Chain A
Amino acid sequence: MRPEMTAASLDTAARTSAERGALARARLLRGLLPALSLALVLLAIAWLNPRAISYFGFSLMLNLAIPIALATIAQMFVIAGNELDLSIGTFVGFVGCVTATWLKDAPLIGAVILLGSIGVYALLGALIHLRNLPSIVVTLGMSFVWQGLAILVLPKPGGKAPDWLLGLMAFKPPFIPFPIIAALLIGLIVHFGLMRTSYGVILRGSGGNPAALGRAGWSLLKTKIVLFALAGLFGVLSGMALIGITTSADANIGNGYTLLAIAGVILGGGEFVGGRVSPIGAVIGALTLALAASPLLTFMHIPPDWQVAANGAILIIVLAARVLISRKER
Protein backbone atom coordinates (compact mmCIF):
# COMPACT_ATOMS: atom_id res chain seq x y z
CA MET A 1 0.00 0.00 0.00
CA ARG A 2 2.61 2.45 1.15
CA PRO A 3 5.02 2.41 -1.85
CA GLU A 4 2.09 2.74 -4.21
CA MET A 5 0.89 5.82 -2.40
CA THR A 6 4.35 7.33 -2.49
CA ALA A 7 4.58 6.66 -6.20
CA ALA A 8 1.19 8.23 -6.73
CA SER A 9 2.08 11.28 -4.73
CA LEU A 10 5.41 11.54 -6.56
CA ASP A 11 3.47 11.39 -9.80
CA THR A 12 1.18 14.25 -8.75
CA ALA A 13 4.20 16.21 -7.55
CA ALA A 14 5.82 15.84 -10.97
CA ARG A 15 2.66 16.87 -12.74
CA THR A 16 2.14 19.92 -10.54
CA SER A 17 5.68 21.07 -11.20
CA ALA A 18 5.02 20.84 -14.96
CA GLU A 19 1.77 22.69 -14.42
CA ARG A 20 3.59 25.22 -12.33
CA GLY A 21 5.97 25.82 -15.23
CA ALA A 22 3.06 26.48 -17.59
CA LEU A 23 1.51 28.70 -14.98
CA ALA A 24 4.73 30.69 -14.63
CA ARG A 25 4.95 31.10 -18.40
CA ALA A 26 1.35 32.34 -18.59
CA ARG A 27 2.01 34.71 -15.71
CA LEU A 28 5.15 36.02 -17.44
CA LEU A 29 3.21 36.51 -20.66
CA ARG A 30 0.54 38.32 -18.71
CA GLY A 31 3.16 40.57 -17.12
CA LEU A 32 4.62 41.33 -20.54
CA LEU A 33 1.22 42.09 -22.06
CA PRO A 34 1.27 45.85 -21.34
CA ALA A 35 4.73 46.14 -22.94
CA LEU A 36 3.60 44.02 -25.89
CA SER A 37 0.58 46.23 -26.50
CA LEU A 38 2.79 49.32 -26.39
CA ALA A 39 5.17 47.69 -28.88
CA LEU A 40 2.21 46.86 -31.11
CA VAL A 41 0.98 50.46 -31.12
CA LEU A 42 4.53 51.63 -31.85
CA LEU A 43 4.83 49.17 -34.74
CA ALA A 44 1.54 50.38 -36.16
CA ILE A 45 2.77 53.96 -35.98
CA ALA A 46 6.12 53.07 -37.57
CA TRP A 47 4.31 51.25 -40.36
CA LEU A 48 1.90 54.11 -41.01
CA ASN A 49 4.47 56.88 -40.71
CA PRO A 50 8.14 55.89 -40.36
CA ARG A 51 9.22 59.48 -39.77
CA ALA A 52 7.28 59.51 -36.48
CA ILE A 53 9.88 57.17 -34.98
CA SER A 54 12.42 59.86 -34.19
CA TYR A 55 13.49 62.09 -31.33
CA PHE A 56 11.22 64.85 -32.55
CA GLY A 57 8.34 62.52 -33.38
CA PHE A 58 8.35 60.96 -29.91
CA SER A 59 8.66 64.34 -28.20
CA LEU A 60 5.55 65.42 -30.09
CA MET A 61 3.53 62.22 -29.75
CA LEU A 62 4.32 61.76 -26.07
CA ASN A 63 3.83 65.44 -25.31
CA LEU A 64 1.09 64.81 -22.77
CA ALA A 65 2.37 61.43 -21.59
CA ILE A 66 3.87 62.75 -18.34
CA PRO A 67 0.65 64.21 -16.85
CA ILE A 68 -1.35 61.18 -18.06
CA ALA A 69 1.18 58.80 -16.49
CA LEU A 70 1.11 60.71 -13.19
CA ALA A 71 -2.70 60.76 -13.12
CA THR A 72 -2.72 57.03 -13.90
CA ILE A 73 -0.37 56.36 -10.98
CA ALA A 74 -2.68 58.41 -8.74
CA GLN A 75 -5.65 56.29 -9.83
CA MET A 76 -3.55 53.13 -9.36
CA PHE A 77 -3.01 53.88 -5.65
CA VAL A 78 -6.77 54.23 -5.17
CA ILE A 79 -7.49 51.04 -7.12
CA ALA A 80 -4.83 49.19 -5.09
CA GLY A 81 -7.10 49.75 -2.07
CA ASN A 82 -10.19 48.39 -3.91
CA GLU A 83 -11.61 51.88 -4.40
CA LEU A 84 -12.17 54.02 -7.48
CA ASP A 85 -11.53 57.75 -7.89
CA LEU A 86 -13.94 59.41 -10.30
CA SER A 87 -12.65 62.87 -9.37
CA ILE A 88 -9.00 62.64 -10.38
CA GLY A 89 -9.65 64.42 -13.70
CA THR A 90 -11.32 67.50 -12.23
CA PHE A 91 -8.73 67.43 -9.42
CA VAL A 92 -5.94 67.64 -12.01
CA GLY A 93 -7.83 70.57 -13.56
CA PHE A 94 -8.12 72.29 -10.17
CA VAL A 95 -4.39 71.82 -9.50
CA GLY A 96 -3.70 73.21 -12.97
CA CYS A 97 -5.72 76.34 -12.24
CA VAL A 98 -3.95 76.87 -8.91
CA THR A 99 -0.56 76.30 -10.58
CA ALA A 100 -1.25 78.86 -13.29
CA THR A 101 -2.43 81.50 -10.82
CA TRP A 102 -1.47 81.26 -7.14
CA LEU A 103 1.70 79.22 -7.58
CA LYS A 104 3.04 81.81 -10.02
CA ASP A 105 1.87 84.98 -8.28
CA ALA A 106 2.24 83.92 -4.65
CA PRO A 107 4.27 80.69 -4.56
CA LEU A 108 3.93 80.24 -0.80
CA ILE A 109 0.13 80.43 -0.76
CA GLY A 110 0.01 78.29 -3.89
CA ALA A 111 2.13 75.60 -2.25
CA VAL A 112 -0.06 75.70 0.88
CA ILE A 113 -3.23 75.29 -1.24
CA LEU A 114 -1.74 72.30 -3.08
CA LEU A 115 -0.55 70.67 0.16
CA GLY A 116 -3.98 71.32 1.64
CA SER A 117 -5.63 69.58 -1.30
CA ILE A 118 -3.47 66.50 -0.65
CA GLY A 119 -4.75 66.73 2.92
CA VAL A 120 -8.32 66.76 1.60
CA TYR A 121 -7.57 63.55 -0.29
CA ALA A 122 -6.21 61.96 2.90
CA LEU A 123 -9.37 63.03 4.75
CA LEU A 124 -11.52 61.49 2.02
CA GLY A 125 -9.69 58.20 2.52
CA ALA A 126 -10.42 58.39 6.25
CA LEU A 127 -14.08 59.30 5.63
CA ILE A 128 -14.58 56.45 3.17
CA HIS A 129 -13.06 53.96 5.60
CA LEU A 130 -14.70 55.20 8.80
CA ARG A 131 -18.24 55.53 7.40
CA ASN A 132 -17.81 52.55 5.04
CA LEU A 133 -18.91 54.72 2.10
CA PRO A 134 -18.88 53.76 -1.58
CA SER A 135 -15.86 55.58 -2.99
CA ILE A 136 -17.54 55.93 -6.39
CA VAL A 137 -20.21 58.21 -4.95
CA VAL A 138 -17.92 60.19 -2.66
CA THR A 139 -15.44 60.91 -5.45
CA LEU A 140 -18.33 61.64 -7.81
CA GLY A 141 -19.41 64.38 -5.41
CA MET A 142 -15.80 65.55 -5.05
CA SER A 143 -15.51 65.87 -8.83
CA PHE A 144 -18.15 68.64 -8.61
CA VAL A 145 -16.26 70.22 -5.71
CA TRP A 146 -12.91 70.34 -7.55
CA GLN A 147 -14.53 71.63 -10.72
CA GLY A 148 -16.36 74.34 -8.79
CA LEU A 149 -13.15 75.39 -7.03
CA ALA A 150 -11.29 75.40 -10.36
CA ILE A 151 -13.86 77.77 -11.85
CA LEU A 152 -13.66 79.99 -8.76
CA VAL A 153 -9.85 80.13 -9.01
CA LEU A 154 -9.82 80.71 -12.76
CA PRO A 155 -13.21 81.80 -14.15
CA LYS A 156 -11.83 82.22 -17.67
CA PRO A 157 -9.14 80.18 -19.42
CA GLY A 158 -5.78 81.83 -18.90
CA GLY A 159 -3.14 82.25 -16.22
CA LYS A 160 0.48 81.37 -16.74
CA ALA A 161 2.75 78.58 -15.55
CA PRO A 162 5.63 79.51 -13.22
CA ASP A 163 8.88 79.93 -15.17
CA TRP A 164 10.75 77.16 -13.30
CA LEU A 165 8.01 74.71 -14.24
CA LEU A 166 8.08 75.77 -17.91
CA GLY A 167 11.86 75.34 -17.89
CA LEU A 168 11.59 71.88 -16.31
CA MET A 169 9.00 70.58 -18.76
CA ALA A 170 10.84 72.01 -21.77
CA PHE A 171 13.99 70.08 -20.77
CA LYS A 172 15.56 68.41 -23.83
CA PRO A 173 18.03 65.69 -22.86
CA PRO A 174 20.30 64.29 -25.57
CA PHE A 175 19.22 61.15 -27.51
CA ILE A 176 16.19 60.13 -25.46
CA PRO A 177 13.13 62.41 -25.39
CA PHE A 178 12.25 63.78 -21.94
CA PRO A 179 8.77 62.16 -21.70
CA ILE A 180 10.34 58.70 -22.01
CA ILE A 181 12.96 59.39 -19.33
CA ALA A 182 10.34 60.92 -17.03
CA ALA A 183 7.93 58.01 -17.54
CA LEU A 184 10.71 55.52 -16.79
CA LEU A 185 11.67 57.42 -13.66
CA ILE A 186 8.08 57.66 -12.40
CA GLY A 187 7.50 53.95 -13.05
CA LEU A 188 10.70 52.83 -11.31
CA ILE A 189 10.27 55.06 -8.24
CA VAL A 190 6.68 53.97 -7.64
CA HIS A 191 7.59 50.35 -8.41
CA PHE A 192 10.27 50.44 -5.73
CA GLY A 193 7.98 52.08 -3.20
CA LEU A 194 4.91 49.91 -3.73
CA MET A 195 6.37 46.57 -4.81
CA ARG A 196 9.71 46.40 -3.00
CA THR A 197 9.19 47.97 0.43
CA SER A 198 7.45 46.23 3.30
CA TYR A 199 4.88 49.00 3.77
CA GLY A 200 4.13 48.78 0.04
CA VAL A 201 3.18 45.16 0.59
CA ILE A 202 0.89 46.21 3.44
CA LEU A 203 -0.72 48.84 1.18
CA ARG A 204 -1.40 46.28 -1.55
CA GLY A 205 -2.51 43.78 1.06
CA SER A 206 -5.16 46.22 2.26
CA GLY A 207 -6.76 45.70 -1.15
CA GLY A 208 -5.94 42.00 -1.39
CA ASN A 209 -7.34 40.82 1.91
CA PRO A 210 -8.35 43.66 4.22
CA ALA A 211 -9.83 41.34 6.83
CA ALA A 212 -6.61 39.32 7.21
CA LEU A 213 -4.52 42.48 7.35
CA GLY A 214 -6.79 43.98 9.99
CA ARG A 215 -6.58 40.83 12.13
CA ALA A 216 -2.79 40.90 11.79
CA GLY A 217 -2.90 44.22 13.60
CA TRP A 218 -2.39 46.70 10.79
CA SER A 219 -4.51 49.80 10.75
CA LEU A 220 -6.76 49.75 7.69
CA LEU A 221 -7.65 53.37 8.40
CA LYS A 222 -4.00 54.30 8.04
CA THR A 223 -3.47 52.34 4.82
CA LYS A 224 -6.53 53.96 3.25
CA ILE A 225 -5.34 57.43 4.30
CA VAL A 226 -1.86 56.76 2.89
CA LEU A 227 -3.25 55.42 -0.41
CA PHE A 228 -5.54 58.41 -0.88
CA ALA A 229 -2.83 60.90 0.14
CA LEU A 230 -0.49 59.30 -2.44
CA ALA A 231 -3.26 59.63 -5.04
CA GLY A 232 -3.58 63.30 -4.09
CA LEU A 233 0.19 63.80 -4.31
CA PHE A 234 0.41 62.29 -7.79
CA GLY A 235 -2.71 64.21 -8.84
CA VAL A 236 -0.93 67.43 -7.83
CA LEU A 237 2.20 66.42 -9.76
CA SER A 238 0.03 65.58 -12.79
CA GLY A 239 -1.71 68.96 -12.75
CA MET A 240 1.59 70.82 -12.39
CA ALA A 241 3.22 68.82 -15.22
CA LEU A 242 0.19 69.48 -17.42
CA ILE A 243 0.40 73.25 -16.91
CA GLY A 244 4.16 73.13 -17.48
CA ILE A 245 3.38 71.78 -20.96
CA THR A 246 0.26 73.75 -21.90
CA THR A 247 1.65 76.98 -20.27
CA SER A 248 -1.83 78.22 -19.34
CA ALA A 249 -4.85 76.66 -17.64
CA ASP A 250 -8.58 76.15 -18.06
CA ALA A 251 -11.03 74.84 -15.46
CA ASN A 252 -11.97 71.92 -17.75
CA ILE A 253 -8.42 71.02 -18.75
CA GLY A 254 -8.24 67.74 -16.82
CA ASN A 255 -11.78 66.41 -17.31
CA GLY A 256 -10.78 63.63 -19.69
CA TYR A 257 -8.15 62.30 -17.28
CA THR A 258 -10.57 60.44 -15.00
CA LEU A 259 -11.43 57.82 -17.59
CA LEU A 260 -7.96 57.83 -19.19
CA ALA A 261 -6.41 57.09 -15.80
CA ILE A 262 -8.75 54.18 -15.08
CA ALA A 263 -8.12 52.79 -18.57
CA GLY A 264 -4.34 53.20 -18.09
CA VAL A 265 -4.33 51.21 -14.85
CA ILE A 266 -6.35 48.37 -16.39
CA LEU A 267 -4.27 48.37 -19.60
CA GLY A 268 -1.20 48.10 -17.40
CA GLY A 269 -2.40 44.85 -15.90
CA GLY A 270 -4.14 46.21 -12.83
CA GLU A 271 -7.35 44.72 -11.52
CA PHE A 272 -10.25 46.39 -9.76
CA VAL A 273 -10.21 44.14 -6.75
CA GLY A 274 -7.56 42.30 -4.84
CA GLY A 275 -4.80 44.92 -4.73
CA ARG A 276 -3.34 43.57 -7.98
CA VAL A 277 -1.74 46.60 -9.60
CA SER A 278 1.52 47.25 -11.41
CA PRO A 279 3.17 50.70 -11.36
CA ILE A 280 5.40 50.04 -14.38
CA GLY A 281 2.45 48.50 -16.21
CA ALA A 282 0.34 51.55 -15.37
CA VAL A 283 2.98 53.88 -16.81
CA ILE A 284 3.19 51.75 -19.96
CA GLY A 285 -0.60 51.75 -20.18
CA ALA A 286 -0.59 55.54 -19.92
CA LEU A 287 2.05 55.79 -22.67
CA THR A 288 -0.02 53.50 -24.91
CA LEU A 289 -3.09 55.67 -24.40
CA ALA A 290 -1.09 58.87 -24.90
CA LEU A 291 0.21 57.50 -28.22
CA ALA A 292 -3.25 56.33 -29.26
CA ALA A 293 -4.68 59.78 -28.53
CA SER A 294 -1.73 61.73 -29.92
CA PRO A 295 -2.22 64.49 -32.48
CA LEU A 296 -0.06 62.52 -34.90
CA LEU A 297 -2.94 60.12 -35.45
CA THR A 298 -4.48 62.88 -37.51
CA PHE A 299 -1.68 62.45 -40.03
CA MET A 300 -2.22 58.72 -40.16
CA HIS A 301 -5.51 58.63 -42.00
CA ILE A 302 -7.40 58.25 -38.74
CA PRO A 303 -9.96 61.05 -38.78
CA PRO A 304 -10.21 62.99 -35.50
CA ASP A 305 -13.76 61.70 -35.06
CA TRP A 306 -12.45 58.20 -34.48
CA GLN A 307 -9.53 58.94 -32.16
CA VAL A 308 -11.65 58.36 -29.06
CA ALA A 309 -12.77 55.06 -30.57
CA ALA A 310 -9.10 54.11 -31.08
CA ASN A 311 -8.69 54.27 -27.29
CA GLY A 312 -11.72 52.08 -26.76
CA ALA A 313 -10.60 49.60 -29.39
CA ILE A 314 -7.10 49.31 -27.89
CA LEU A 315 -8.62 48.64 -24.46
CA ILE A 316 -10.87 45.92 -25.84
CA ILE A 317 -8.09 44.25 -27.87
CA VAL A 318 -5.67 44.18 -24.93
CA LEU A 319 -8.33 42.82 -22.60
CA ALA A 320 -9.27 40.15 -25.13
CA ALA A 321 -5.61 39.11 -25.30
CA ARG A 322 -5.51 38.98 -21.51
CA VAL A 323 -8.51 36.63 -21.44
CA LEU A 324 -6.74 34.27 -23.83
CA ILE A 325 -3.67 34.23 -21.59
CA SER A 326 -5.66 33.90 -18.37
CA ARG A 327 -7.38 30.85 -19.80
CA LYS A 328 -3.95 29.21 -19.97
CA GLU A 329 -3.20 30.37 -16.45
CA ARG A 330 -6.15 28.37 -15.17
Chain B
Amino acid sequence: MANLTTKIGSLTMVNPVMTASGTFGYGVEFQDFVDLSKVGGIIVKGTTLHPRQGNPYPRMAETAQGMLNCVGLQNKGVAHFCEHIYPSIKDLPTQVLVNVSGSSPEDYAECAAYINELENIPAIELNISCPNVKQGGMAFGVTPEGAASVVRAVREAYHKTLIVKLSPNVTSIADIALAVQDAGADAVSCINTLMGMAIDAEKRRKLLSIGTGGLSGPAVKPVALRMVHQVAQAVSIPVIGLGGISNATDAIEFLLAGATAIQIGTANFLDPAIAQKVAQGVDEYLERHGFKYVTDIIGALED
Protein backbone atom coordinates (compact mmCIF):
# COMPACT_ATOMS: atom_id res chain seq x y z
CA MET B 1 0.00 0.00 0.00
CA ALA B 2 1.31 3.42 -0.98
CA ASN B 3 1.37 6.38 1.38
CA LEU B 4 -1.66 8.48 0.52
CA THR B 5 -1.26 11.03 3.31
CA THR B 6 -2.28 14.43 1.98
CA LYS B 7 -1.62 17.86 3.47
CA ILE B 8 -3.49 21.08 2.70
CA GLY B 9 -2.19 23.91 4.91
CA SER B 10 -2.30 22.50 8.45
CA LEU B 11 -4.96 19.95 7.47
CA THR B 12 -3.76 16.35 7.21
CA MET B 13 -5.89 13.68 5.54
CA VAL B 14 -5.45 9.89 5.17
CA ASN B 15 -5.82 10.27 1.40
CA PRO B 16 -6.51 12.96 -1.20
CA VAL B 17 -10.15 11.99 -1.79
CA MET B 18 -12.75 14.40 -0.44
CA THR B 19 -16.46 14.81 -1.08
CA ALA B 20 -17.75 18.09 -2.49
CA SER B 21 -20.07 20.42 -0.64
CA GLY B 22 -23.76 19.92 -1.38
CA THR B 23 -23.32 16.39 -2.69
CA PHE B 24 -22.66 14.42 0.48
CA GLY B 25 -25.00 16.01 3.03
CA TYR B 26 -23.37 15.96 6.44
CA GLY B 27 -21.68 12.62 5.80
CA VAL B 28 -24.07 10.69 8.03
CA GLU B 29 -26.47 10.21 5.08
CA PHE B 30 -23.79 8.09 3.39
CA GLN B 31 -22.56 6.03 6.34
CA ASP B 32 -24.54 2.97 5.24
CA PHE B 33 -22.54 2.97 1.99
CA VAL B 34 -19.11 4.40 2.78
CA ASP B 35 -16.58 3.66 5.50
CA LEU B 36 -15.81 7.33 6.18
CA SER B 37 -12.43 6.43 7.70
CA LYS B 38 -11.36 5.48 4.15
CA VAL B 39 -12.14 8.97 2.82
CA GLY B 40 -9.76 11.90 3.28
CA GLY B 41 -12.35 14.48 4.14
CA ILE B 42 -15.91 15.61 3.62
CA ILE B 43 -17.06 19.16 2.98
CA VAL B 44 -20.51 19.74 4.36
CA LYS B 45 -23.29 21.77 2.77
CA GLY B 46 -22.86 25.50 2.21
CA THR B 47 -23.47 27.36 5.45
CA THR B 48 -24.40 31.02 5.80
CA LEU B 49 -24.64 33.46 8.71
CA HIS B 50 -28.43 33.57 8.52
CA PRO B 51 -30.88 30.77 7.56
CA ARG B 52 -31.73 30.59 3.86
CA GLN B 53 -34.74 28.98 2.18
CA GLY B 54 -32.92 28.51 -1.11
CA ASN B 55 -34.62 28.81 -4.48
CA PRO B 56 -38.09 27.47 -5.34
CA TYR B 57 -38.62 24.03 -6.88
CA PRO B 58 -37.71 22.89 -9.57
CA ARG B 59 -34.05 23.04 -8.71
CA MET B 60 -32.59 20.33 -10.93
CA ALA B 61 -32.46 19.39 -14.60
CA GLU B 62 -30.60 16.51 -16.17
CA THR B 63 -28.30 17.07 -19.13
CA ALA B 64 -26.14 14.81 -21.25
CA GLN B 65 -23.59 13.39 -18.80
CA GLY B 66 -24.41 15.96 -16.20
CA MET B 67 -26.97 17.93 -14.27
CA LEU B 68 -27.90 21.51 -13.54
CA ASN B 69 -28.88 22.64 -10.07
CA CYS B 70 -30.09 25.91 -8.61
CA VAL B 71 -30.55 24.90 -4.97
CA GLY B 72 -29.36 28.33 -3.84
CA LEU B 73 -27.62 27.62 -0.53
CA GLN B 74 -30.60 26.34 1.45
CA ASN B 75 -29.40 25.92 5.05
CA LYS B 76 -30.50 26.69 8.59
CA GLY B 77 -27.69 29.12 9.34
CA VAL B 78 -24.38 28.81 11.16
CA ALA B 79 -25.79 29.06 14.70
CA HIS B 80 -28.09 26.08 14.00
CA PHE B 81 -25.13 24.24 12.48
CA CYS B 82 -22.96 24.80 15.55
CA GLU B 83 -25.67 23.90 18.03
CA HIS B 84 -27.53 21.04 16.34
CA ILE B 85 -25.47 19.54 13.53
CA TYR B 86 -21.87 19.85 14.68
CA PRO B 87 -22.37 17.65 17.79
CA SER B 88 -23.57 14.79 15.58
CA ILE B 89 -20.72 14.99 13.05
CA LYS B 90 -17.73 16.15 15.10
CA ASP B 91 -16.59 12.61 15.81
CA LEU B 92 -16.99 11.17 12.31
CA PRO B 93 -13.87 9.15 11.43
CA THR B 94 -12.75 11.59 8.71
CA GLN B 95 -11.87 15.26 8.41
CA VAL B 96 -15.02 17.38 8.37
CA LEU B 97 -14.80 20.75 6.62
CA VAL B 98 -17.49 23.38 6.34
CA ASN B 99 -18.32 25.28 3.16
CA VAL B 100 -19.03 28.92 4.04
CA SER B 101 -21.00 31.41 1.96
CA GLY B 102 -22.37 34.91 2.43
CA SER B 103 -23.76 38.12 0.98
CA SER B 104 -20.99 40.50 2.07
CA PRO B 105 -17.37 40.19 3.26
CA GLU B 106 -18.61 40.91 6.80
CA ASP B 107 -21.17 38.09 6.52
CA TYR B 108 -18.53 35.62 5.42
CA ALA B 109 -16.18 36.70 8.21
CA GLU B 110 -18.84 36.47 10.92
CA CYS B 111 -19.90 33.02 9.73
CA ALA B 112 -16.27 31.86 9.61
CA ALA B 113 -15.71 33.19 13.13
CA TYR B 114 -18.40 30.81 14.42
CA ILE B 115 -16.74 27.87 12.69
CA ASN B 116 -13.35 28.92 13.99
CA GLU B 117 -14.54 28.01 17.51
CA LEU B 118 -15.40 24.41 16.55
CA GLU B 119 -12.52 22.23 17.68
CA ASN B 120 -13.09 19.35 15.24
CA ILE B 121 -13.47 21.43 12.08
CA PRO B 122 -9.89 21.85 10.86
CA ALA B 123 -10.64 23.91 7.75
CA ILE B 124 -13.28 25.81 5.84
CA GLU B 125 -13.95 26.15 2.16
CA LEU B 126 -15.05 29.64 1.20
CA ASN B 127 -17.67 29.61 -1.51
CA ILE B 128 -17.21 32.73 -3.62
CA SER B 129 -18.55 30.95 -6.65
CA CYS B 130 -22.16 29.88 -6.13
CA PRO B 131 -23.97 30.74 -9.39
CA ASN B 132 -27.44 30.39 -7.86
CA VAL B 133 -27.85 33.32 -5.48
CA LYS B 134 -28.52 36.94 -6.34
CA GLN B 135 -26.40 38.60 -3.71
CA GLY B 136 -22.89 37.48 -2.88
CA GLY B 137 -21.91 34.03 -4.02
CA MET B 138 -20.41 34.24 -7.48
CA ALA B 139 -20.52 38.04 -7.51
CA PHE B 140 -17.37 38.02 -5.36
CA GLY B 141 -15.69 35.25 -7.27
CA VAL B 142 -15.64 36.84 -10.71
CA THR B 143 -13.17 39.65 -10.07
CA PRO B 144 -9.73 39.46 -8.40
CA GLU B 145 -10.63 42.47 -6.21
CA GLY B 146 -13.99 41.02 -5.08
CA ALA B 147 -12.44 37.64 -4.32
CA ALA B 148 -9.56 39.20 -2.39
CA SER B 149 -11.91 41.41 -0.34
CA VAL B 150 -13.80 38.37 0.99
CA VAL B 151 -10.64 36.37 1.66
CA ARG B 152 -9.00 39.29 3.54
CA ALA B 153 -12.08 39.73 5.75
CA VAL B 154 -12.29 36.02 6.53
CA ARG B 155 -8.55 35.66 7.08
CA GLU B 156 -8.80 38.06 10.02
CA ALA B 157 -11.62 36.06 11.62
CA TYR B 158 -10.49 32.54 10.79
CA HIS B 159 -7.22 31.04 11.97
CA LYS B 160 -7.23 27.50 10.62
CA THR B 161 -6.84 26.23 7.07
CA LEU B 162 -8.68 28.46 4.62
CA ILE B 163 -9.59 27.02 1.23
CA VAL B 164 -11.27 29.20 -1.40
CA LYS B 165 -13.58 27.60 -3.99
CA LEU B 166 -13.23 29.31 -7.35
CA SER B 167 -15.74 29.93 -10.09
CA PRO B 168 -15.12 28.73 -13.65
CA ASN B 169 -17.43 31.48 -14.93
CA VAL B 170 -14.55 33.94 -15.37
CA THR B 171 -12.16 35.16 -18.03
CA SER B 172 -9.00 34.17 -16.19
CA ILE B 173 -9.29 31.79 -13.26
CA ALA B 174 -5.53 32.00 -12.67
CA ASP B 175 -5.80 35.74 -11.93
CA ILE B 176 -8.51 35.09 -9.33
CA ALA B 177 -6.43 32.29 -7.81
CA LEU B 178 -3.40 34.60 -7.50
CA ALA B 179 -5.55 37.28 -5.87
CA VAL B 180 -6.92 34.95 -3.20
CA GLN B 181 -3.44 33.53 -2.60
CA ASP B 182 -2.13 37.06 -2.00
CA ALA B 183 -5.08 37.76 0.31
CA GLY B 184 -4.10 34.88 2.57
CA ALA B 185 -5.82 31.72 1.30
CA ASP B 186 -4.07 28.46 2.20
CA ALA B 187 -5.48 26.58 -0.80
CA VAL B 188 -7.93 26.89 -3.65
CA SER B 189 -10.48 24.38 -4.88
CA CYS B 190 -11.56 24.50 -8.48
CA ILE B 191 -13.97 24.36 -10.05
CA ASN B 192 -17.47 25.20 -8.84
CA THR B 193 -20.29 24.57 -11.32
CA LEU B 194 -20.49 26.14 -14.77
CA MET B 195 -23.49 28.36 -15.27
CA GLY B 196 -25.99 26.86 -17.68
CA MET B 197 -29.61 26.68 -18.67
CA ALA B 198 -32.22 24.09 -19.65
CA ILE B 199 -35.43 24.50 -21.64
CA ASP B 200 -38.44 22.24 -22.16
CA ALA B 201 -39.18 22.59 -25.88
CA GLU B 202 -42.64 21.01 -25.69
CA LYS B 203 -43.83 23.33 -22.95
CA ARG B 204 -41.73 26.29 -24.15
CA ARG B 205 -40.58 26.88 -20.58
CA LYS B 206 -37.40 27.14 -18.58
CA LEU B 207 -36.80 23.95 -16.62
CA LEU B 208 -35.28 25.58 -13.54
CA SER B 209 -37.17 27.92 -11.22
CA ILE B 210 -34.67 30.75 -11.60
CA GLY B 211 -33.92 30.00 -15.24
CA THR B 212 -30.25 29.18 -14.82
CA GLY B 213 -28.26 26.70 -12.76
CA GLY B 214 -24.81 25.25 -12.20
CA LEU B 215 -23.67 22.41 -14.45
CA SER B 216 -21.80 19.50 -12.88
CA GLY B 217 -20.99 15.90 -13.72
CA PRO B 218 -18.74 14.20 -16.29
CA ALA B 219 -19.71 16.80 -18.91
CA VAL B 220 -17.57 19.45 -17.18
CA LYS B 221 -14.48 17.33 -16.54
CA PRO B 222 -12.30 18.55 -19.43
CA VAL B 223 -12.98 22.17 -18.48
CA ALA B 224 -12.20 21.49 -14.84
CA LEU B 225 -9.01 19.62 -15.69
CA ARG B 226 -7.78 22.51 -17.84
CA MET B 227 -8.54 25.05 -15.13
CA VAL B 228 -6.87 23.00 -12.38
CA HIS B 229 -3.78 22.75 -14.56
CA GLN B 230 -3.77 26.51 -15.26
CA VAL B 231 -4.24 27.40 -11.60
CA ALA B 232 -1.63 24.91 -10.39
CA GLN B 233 0.88 26.48 -12.79
CA ALA B 234 0.09 29.96 -11.47
CA VAL B 235 -0.04 29.61 -7.68
CA SER B 236 2.24 28.19 -4.99
CA ILE B 237 -0.54 27.08 -2.61
CA PRO B 238 -2.18 23.65 -2.98
CA VAL B 239 -4.98 23.19 -5.49
CA ILE B 240 -7.93 20.87 -4.83
CA GLY B 241 -9.42 19.62 -8.08
CA LEU B 242 -13.05 18.84 -8.74
CA GLY B 243 -15.45 18.76 -11.65
CA GLY B 244 -16.93 15.55 -13.02
CA ILE B 245 -14.66 13.09 -11.24
CA SER B 246 -16.43 9.73 -11.43
CA ASN B 247 -13.70 7.15 -10.92
CA ALA B 248 -10.10 6.67 -9.81
CA THR B 249 -8.71 7.36 -13.29
CA ASP B 250 -10.42 10.76 -13.34
CA ALA B 251 -9.00 11.50 -9.89
CA ILE B 252 -5.48 10.58 -10.99
CA GLU B 253 -5.77 12.84 -14.05
CA PHE B 254 -6.51 15.77 -11.72
CA LEU B 255 -3.53 14.90 -9.50
CA LEU B 256 -1.31 14.71 -12.57
CA ALA B 257 -2.66 18.11 -13.68
CA GLY B 258 -1.38 19.56 -10.43
CA ALA B 259 -4.08 18.98 -7.81
CA THR B 260 -2.94 18.02 -4.31
CA ALA B 261 -6.33 16.57 -3.46
CA ILE B 262 -9.61 16.01 -5.29
CA GLN B 263 -13.30 16.19 -4.53
CA ILE B 264 -16.10 13.94 -5.71
CA GLY B 265 -19.43 15.66 -6.27
CA THR B 266 -22.21 14.59 -8.59
CA ALA B 267 -20.82 11.03 -8.84
CA ASN B 268 -21.98 10.47 -5.24
CA PHE B 269 -25.55 10.54 -6.58
CA LEU B 270 -24.90 7.74 -9.06
CA ASP B 271 -22.91 5.54 -6.72
CA PRO B 272 -23.17 6.51 -3.06
CA ALA B 273 -20.12 4.31 -2.34
CA ILE B 274 -17.89 5.95 -4.97
CA ALA B 275 -15.64 8.04 -2.67
CA GLN B 276 -14.20 5.00 -0.97
CA LYS B 277 -13.75 3.19 -4.30
CA VAL B 278 -11.84 6.14 -5.77
CA ALA B 279 -9.48 6.24 -2.77
CA GLN B 280 -8.79 2.55 -3.22
CA GLY B 281 -8.33 2.97 -6.96
CA VAL B 282 -5.75 5.74 -6.46
CA ASP B 283 -3.82 3.43 -4.15
CA GLU B 284 -3.90 0.62 -6.72
CA TYR B 285 -2.65 3.00 -9.43
CA LEU B 286 0.30 4.08 -7.27
CA GLU B 287 1.17 0.45 -6.53
CA ARG B 288 0.92 -0.51 -10.18
CA HIS B 289 3.22 2.33 -11.24
CA GLY B 290 5.66 1.88 -8.38
CA PHE B 291 5.01 5.21 -6.61
CA LYS B 292 5.47 5.16 -2.84
CA TYR B 293 3.70 8.43 -2.13
CA VAL B 294 0.65 10.05 -3.66
CA THR B 295 2.61 13.30 -3.61
CA ASP B 296 4.90 11.74 -6.25
CA ILE B 297 2.24 12.15 -8.93
CA ILE B 298 1.07 15.69 -8.18
CA GLY B 299 1.71 17.67 -11.35
CA ALA B 300 3.86 14.79 -12.61
CA LEU B 301 2.94 15.13 -16.28
CA GLU B 302 5.56 13.88 -18.71
CA ASP B 303 6.60 16.25 -21.50
- Co-complex (A, B): no
Question: Interface on A for B, CB 8 Å cutoff?
Answer: none
Question: Interface on B for A, CB 8 Å cutoff?
Answer: none
